[in-house]
Structure 1
């Protein structure tokens, strides 16, 4: 989860950002 930690360091630990990451993960998973 280095990417999430990097976003958190940049001050982007907002719910929307997390949702975007989850959406990307779902896309990669083929969901």
Structure 2
């Protein structure tokens, strides 16, 4: 079962960057802008 992370920030590029890093480490990511 994958670990889950919620990434929330008003900066679209930061959210995408952090989400990519977490996904590479096996996290299932939910994003909010």
* TM-score in terms of structure 1 length: 0.49
Which one has a bigger Cα radius of gyration? 1
Give the TM-score taking structure 2 as reference length.
0.46
Q: Name the structure with the higher helix share.
A: 1
Q: Which has the higher contact order (CA 8 A, sep 6+)?
A: 2
Question: Comparing both structures, which one devotes a greater share of its residues to strand?
Answer: 2
